[in-house]
A and B are shown apart, each in its own frame.
Chain A
Amino acid sequence: MTSRSRNVYLVPYLLWMALFIVVPIALILYDSFFDVEGQFTFGNYGKFLTPIYLRMTASSIWYALLITVFSLLVAYPAAYALTKMKHKQLWLLLLILPSWVNLLLKVYAFLGIFGTYGFVNGVLETLGIGRHQILFTDFSFVFVSVYIFIPFMILPIYNALEDLNPSLVFAARDLGASAWTTFRRVVFPLTLDGVKAGCQAVFIPALSLFMITRLVAGNRVITLGTAIEQHFLVTQDWGMGAAIAVFLILAMVVIMIVTGKRQKGGAR
């Protein structure tokens, strides 16, 4: 504090920031104004506004919403149940452990489980419902995504529930609220930040993960992520891919602002 020695640690860190955050984002923006021949154009954005792309965007957002909502519906009770357990830490570790297993392997497993002769179809057949095409359907895409994202939703909600002062719950009960009212009026509002953080952690990847769609939803381009991958690595139309990426970045910023605001106020 005495001699105002300059902050030398800042140099490599800022260098990293410039090189791998500022420059790449600038490059994406720059590239989005060029067509395949390298000519300057606004055409990529024009193309993005055609019905084909708008429909794809809408469907991507719709799937992401579905995935987020289902993950939340499964994860909130799980996180709540977790806080009631005796060996919380152990249970938490066990629930988080699968998220450390390579995502591709888990997706790959569903190729077998949902396959024509796989486990699920086997069960359906014994129940007399008969075999169905499950793999490469919207259902398999949403189910596998929810499966992948559940741990990411549980963790922030669990943390928010753990941070909740238990005497608030007792106070609500003491003031005559039923268990359900207590949850609705006290517990849920106070854990909203965790819910928001969880939704953020699920929604953005759900918009953009392309390998799940590629592996279990067939070769259909139904998410923004798949579209970007398609343009960059298959059709080599970087400009169009960059334009979609710019849209995705904008969407991300919006989501961050919407879900981020309260978090600041709620921070201790």
Chain B
Amino acid sequence: MNKSKSGASIYLAVIFVILYAPIFYLVYYSFNSGGSMHGYEGFTLQYYGEVFQDARLLIIVLNTVIIALLSSAISTVLGVLGALAIRRVRSRRARNSLLSMNNVLIVSPDVIIGASFLILFTMAGIKLGFTSVLLSHIAFSVPIVVLMVLPKLQEMSPSLLDAARDLGANGWQVLTRVVVPFIKPGIFAGFFMALTYSLDDFAVTFFVTGNGFSTLSVEIYSRARQGISLSINALSTLIFLFTVLVVLGYYWLNRRSSKRLGMGVPK
């Protein structure tokens, strides 16, 4: 029993090291004054300086963040509406087909989404750039939000809605005072997932972006294709730190809100 347990720990530890090694490898060499990802010569912050002086890069970061925030906000609204719609559909078959349609964009390979959106935007005469990227990000984030919100909606007993109406609430009041507060964790999770999907996306953006507009992923790709440059390492370190912060922040917020449900005070 004990032996198998320590065996399990060792195996997990190995996986753990393998998963993190490349990331820390990047971070480690971002401080290498030698200028390459081998042969550590000395400590330097030179590449971080480069990152912060690179106006083009900073604009791209800004673009990425704006696209992420806007697309996840809009897709959260659409996704919540979608989840409410699915929940309202009474026929089981219609609901199931809606759900499978919903999942098409989740299981579809990025290249297909990218290529088909490229055709769509070209046909519709939408200039490739900010608008096309934003629309694509909204499009592929909606089903994720739906999937995060729907379980919460299903968890909600129908008698809660009856109770609200019984106490005099009209349709809008039922939605804003009962449904939305109840599914808030799902909405929150959906927004967060949409945010990470948007920040992470490379393939779709790569297809639908035009000259002059780029996101961080696309920029990293085009730089990486030209070979190793330690400013990418510095950038990755910053992104990694940011990711960790966002994930931890998300968990903290989640913990706090679930705690509040336990023993909080009213507003």
A contacting B, Cβ–Cβ less than 8 Å: yes
B52 sits at the interface (CB 8 A): no
- What's the Cα separation between A73 and B171 when bound, in Å? 52
Residue of chain B at shortest CB distance from A84: B8
Whether A209 touches B116, Cβ cut-off 8 Å, given contacts A102-B239, A109-B26, A111-B224, is: no
A95 sits at the interface (CB 8 A): yes
Please tell me which stretch of A12-20, A39-47, A165-173 contacts chain B, meaning at least 4 of its Cβ atoms lie within 8 angstroms of it. Answer: A12-20
Pairwise interchain contact B15-A85, C-beta atoms closer than 8 A: no
- What's the Cα separation between A14 and B89 when bound, in Å? 13
Measured between beta carbons, the chain A residues less than 8 angstroms from B50 are none
Measured between beta carbons, the chain B residues less than 8 angstroms from A97 are 243-244, 247
Pairwise interchain contact B111-A210, C-beta atoms closer than 8 A: yes
CB-based A-B contact count at 8 angstroms: 222
| B33-66 interface bits toward A, Cβ cutoff 8 Å, 1 = contact, 0 = none | 0001111000000000000000000000000000
Measured between beta carbons, the chain A residues less than 8 angstroms from B88 are 7, 9-10
Q: Contact size class for B? A: 35 or more
Chain B 205-253 interface residues, beta-carbon cutoff 8 Å to A: 206-207, 216-217, 220-221, 224-225, 227-228, 232, 236, 239-240, 243-244, 247, 251
Pairwise interchain contact B85-A9, C-beta atoms closer than 8 A: yes
**Interface of chain B, main secondary structure:** helix
Contact of B115 among A102, A122, A151, A242 (CB under 8 A): A242
Contact of A112 among B25, B107, B118 (CB under 8 A): B25
Pairwise interchain contact A252-B9, C-beta atoms closer than 8 A: no
Report the minimal beta-carbon distance from B10 to chain A, rounded to whole angstroms. Answer: 9
Pairwise interchain contact A147-B118, C-beta atoms closer than 8 A: no
B263 sits at the interface (CB 8 A): no
Taking beta carbons and an 8 Å cutoff, which residues of A are in contact with B? 5, 7, 9-10, 12-14, 16-17, 19-21, 23-25, 27-28, 31, 74, 77-78, 80-82, 84-85, 91, 93-95, 97-98, 100-113, 115, 117-119, 122, 147, 150-151, 200, 204-205, 207-211, 214-215, 225, 228-229, 232-233, 238, 241-242, 245, 248-249, 252, 256
What 3 pairs across the A-B complex have the smallest Cβ distances? A112-B37, A208-B109, A24-B116
